Structure 1
């Protein structure tokens, strides 16, 4: 449908243009051109009288006070000051529950200026529709980034990463639940650090990340949750020839609680294996991983490798252990399992990092020793063993699982169907045990096996890594009726959001810090999952940095060209009507006089 403004513009323009052309036809000269121009101007003023230009409604700036806004801030003429719930007490500020309420109350606002740390997530969910100005405050001193450790199997090494602001030359320390120092690092110029330790008993533990300044004074203590998994024992097949590596792999499996069955070819047709170690489809369906050396894989023949490859596609994990330089035939046998690498005929030394930053941290990682081991054996100062690894070239699909201190690949895997095939390149890793580094040997093999083993069926819903008391969080991965038991034992039923679909997500607001438990009914009965809720303010510096960065991004989006315009209304028509009336009268008088003069005889 054609707008009235368009119809009026066409009619007025046509009339003014016809009048101007008739004037120029009847007479030439500058007077005629002047009258024609006045006719067009009269038509324009008539259109502006009928449809005055649109003007913005109001012109006020909304000052939005957020957390850490100075208490002495005041609104200037043309500004209106509102305070969000996070803002301190400010004289003259109007308290509002959120930004949307302030915008609804004050429709004349033309722009927004945010003061303080920035808007919380509640106020960044929707567009404001107005230009927004925001200058982030400096990053506060303290912990500004924290990546807590992932769920860790018992006996494995965990790691956390973080970044501190304003603490160059200070220290980051990791304390165990008993308050003993596990690891420590000096904070450099960029503030980044990485700490780690060994996961012990299964369950949820509360470690502490302590930051110290250059003067060794404590700046902050931040709780760090660590969940140690008590998974069912891995079922592993060990295939190869009798060797020191096979001997210590069996000992490692026994110490780690792994259900290991071995099939060792002693030569001369002697096969040291039980019925459960036979490589057939039925047995392979019952195990989580297979460790096989390259020569045993090559000797299996195409039929045996085909059976193993089918099991990998169905979810089985395989670790191929190199016992010598790779040949074209061995690489071809690897490709049958989905492992594509090149080279592997040259060997290079393995660069080993220190076991721990100091003897105290090493003692904690190893735990209590036995009575028959003297104190001087396997001490912190003992030299590292000489190890070598076969140098292979990998592609983009190869995922590294174990590296040395220089980043060289010691073990890695590739996906095949639902399973994974890994390559172990260390020629003599058992030398670690002979030199007192049992911890490193166990860690390497634990990481390699965990990377490829068939996935388990534990109840492990998705929760935020660092939930805070009093803040909304989402719990996903729920498949049925579930509830959360708070730290005080209070039960809260979780309502799954239908919009989440297959993700199975529900909202939860923890009211108190401490250990919380998610309970869900499953096939095998009640399933539980523990998570730690941190106290309010535990991540104050992190929250401040994230809030400032998120608000700056949100403000930039509000200033984008595609944002909706400022509310407008029609301006007053009387100035244009008065100008049109005067101009039309002058035009009528001038045209009449011009005709009178032109009609007189010469």
Structure 2
């Protein structure tokens, strides 16, 4: 059944059309057309009188002032100006503690307009469900992006990257904690740069990133935290398989890398070319960090051996399964026994290798003067890449890629099982890289594979952002029990783990002063400690300014998306339409009476008066 609006529209429209048709038949000239149009307009005004148009409830725009809003900002007609705590003093602005409070106080607003640098992280969690207008300010001159170095073992080389705005042609310098220059690079046209040095004594240290302009004047000095790790325990690796070139070079690489290696290379008839140190039993698997086994050896250890491996994986062991031949149904079943689900594997494809460097000069600089193993003339920039093949396997959504070729094809990836991981290696002839002079690529591939699945170390290492400034709220994850945070002055603060974080074990902290903070987490073997550095409040001001603008732009686009809630509406007033309908109807009645009379007089002159004829 049609609604009231539809029914009224049909009835009024039918009446208006009938009246217009009658008037056109009564007078077939321009006056009849005018009367017909007035009749249709009268019907439209009558409908609008009964059902006025919908209007939004409240048409105000909420103008939100943030940091760096121009001091002379004023609210225009139809706008309401509010200022967040970061905004400067503005005449006529209402101070609010956060955006959520402003939205609650002014629920009638229909639009948001954000001025200044943008919303801080505190306000990005609030959903406005309103169209939002925001134009990010230009990035400030100086350091706008910093990729700090990862935790680095003592004696290893670390690297950091960054991007500077407005400093093309300048220089980026890295100073050690004593203020000595350890690296220097020119800043390119895109503003990007990379610096590095060597990590020394274990512990926390603060390097300095200094940016200079074209005139060599210092633009900024930014502290860069570095955590240097003590030499870790050697990775305990079991290498099990058949004698092959791949196993030979894997064994050589593991020994050169300093792994605690035990191998078993079964040549048949009870002959072991690996030294007999590798065993697959619960005791040996509990001591191992990674087991590297080829598919033939995985089939040879039988159901009992695969069950022991699977149980060890549940406890945290990492297993690397090397494909040495096309996979059969039995091979895939052996994979599934370890928790690795993959299909196919019977077909091969060529591995697409990316170039060793962008240009010959960059390759020569990276390789250095050469050595006995890799002479200068071996595998130069112009030489073709070695041909490698991979087995084509199909995996599911839980398969995590680790090594891929230049076209994105997965060469190795892992799946989780309990607390451990099982990785599938699909390249049977990766040792060809070493023979072709690309030992560095070979080492990178296998290092990535073992790092992805090795048994996690027992050191307490929570997860938190690498760049922390005083006065900023941070989230610390990887906590359990009753952790505490000790500030540089020695005061302790208990951290409350958020139940909503689930197994991630996250808690919030708000370091107020710069310096070294220590996380303390009680455990069965005593309290575990983890130290981190908090930098001065304005240490990353330019970086935070750019991040704030980009985050606010993404937030504004999400609020204006089709998923945002529609604005509430109501019927507008009907009396203006009623007055218009009365005036138009009166004009129609007057015109119809006058022009219709004139039409009757003309008809009498043409046909004669009917009364006289009678």
Q: How far, CA to CA, are the matches of 1:391 and 1:306 in structure 2? A: 36
2:497 match: 496
Q: How far, CA to CA, are the matches of 1:511 and 1:174 in structure 2? A: 27
SS of equivalent residue, structure 1 residue 415: strand
- Whether 1:53 aligns to 2:53 is yes
SS of equivalent residue, structure 1 residue 208: strand
Does the 8 Å CA contact 1:183/1:357 hold for their aligned counterparts? no
Comparing 236-245 with 213-222, greater Cα deviation is found at 236-245
Give the 3 Å change call, closer, same or farther, for CA 349–385 of structure 1 in structure 2.
farther
Q: Offset of 1:103 from its aligned partner?
A: 4.4
2:139 match: 139
- Whether 1:10 aligns to 2:7 is yes
Does the 8 Å CA contact 1:202/1:229 hold for their aligned counterparts? yes
- Whether 1:544 aligns to 2:545 is yes
SS of equivalent residue, structure 2 residue 172: strand
Q: How far, CA to CA, are the matches of 2:433 and 2:52 in structure 1? A: 88
SS of equivalent residue, structure 2 residue 490: coil
2:382 match: none
1:507 match: 508
SS of equivalent residue, structure 1 residue 547: helix
RMSD: 5.5
Map residues 417-436 of structure 1 onto 2, 5 A cutoff: 418-420=421-423, 425=430
Deviation string 1:81-112 (CA, Å, 9 cap, x unpaired) is: 43322122334444332334444555665544
Deviation string 1:231-279 (CA, Å, 9 cap, x unpaired) is: 55432346799999978965763xxxx5455679999999798875445
Give the 3 Å change call, closer, same or farther, for CA 179–491 of structure 1 in structure 2.
same
Comparing 132-141 with 207-216, greater Cα deviation is found at 207-216
- Whether 1:97 aligns to 2:97 is yes
Does the 8 Å CA contact 2:164/2:192 hold for their aligned counterparts? yes
1:392 match: 388
Q: Offset of 1:68 from its aligned partner?
A: 1.7
Q: How far, CA to CA, are the matches of 1:207 and 1:311 in structure 2? A: 48
Q: How far, CA to CA, are the matches of 1:441 and 1:554 in structure 2? A: 43
- Whether 1:473 aligns to 2:474 is yes
Does the 8 Å CA contact 2:69/2:88 hold for their aligned counterparts? yes
TM-score (norm 2): 0.69
1:163 match: 163
Give the 3 Å change call, closer, same or farther, for CA 160–529 of structure 1 in structure 2.
same
Deviation string 1:142-199 (CA, Å, 9 cap, x unpaired) is: 2212222334445544333322222222233334434444443322112222333444
TM-score (norm 1): 0.70
SS of equivalent residue, structure 1 residue 522: coil
Does the 8 Å CA contact 2:386/2:433 hold for their aligned counterparts? no
2:555 match: 554
Map residues 149-548 of structure 1 onto 2, 5 A cutoff: 149-229=149-229, 231-237=232-238, 250=255, 253=258, 259-261=260-262, 277-278=278-279, 282-289=283-290, 303=300, 314-315=312-313, 316-317=317-318, 383-387=370-374, 391-394=387-390, 413-415=412-414, 418-420=421-423, 425=430, 449-548=450-549
Which ranges of structure 1 fall in alignment gaps of 5 or more residues?
359-379
Does the 8 Å CA contact 2:462/2:479 hold for their aligned counterparts? yes
Q: How far, CA to CA, are the matches of 2:211 and 2:23 in structure 1? A: 93
SS of equivalent residue, structure 2 residue 548: helix
Give the 3 Å change call, closer, same or farther, for CA 165–582 of structure 1 in structure 2.
closer
Map residues 37-76 of structure 1 onto 2, 5 A cutoff: 41-56=41-56, 61-76=61-76
Which ranges of structure 2 fall in alignment gaps of 5 or more residues?
379-384, 602-608
SS of equivalent residue, structure 1 residue 525: coil
Q: Offset of 1:543 from its aligned partner?
A: 1.2
SS of equivalent residue, structure 1 residue 225: strand
Deviation string 1:206-229 (CA, Å, 9 cap, x unpaired) is: 333333333333322323333344
Comparing 582-591 with 570-579, greater Cα deviation is found at 582-591
Number of residue equivalences: 555
Deviation string 1:286-342 (CA, Å, 9 cap, x unpaired) is: 2123579x9xx98x7962598887777654557899xxxx99799xxx999899796
1:375 match: none
Comparing 112-121 with 348-357, greater Cα deviation is found at 348-357
Give the 3 Å change call, closer, same or farther, for CA 265–101 of structure 1 in structure 2.
closer
Does the 8 Å CA contact 1:486/1:510 hold for their aligned counterparts? yes
Q: How far, CA to CA, are the matches of 1:591 and 1:221 in structure 2? A: 87
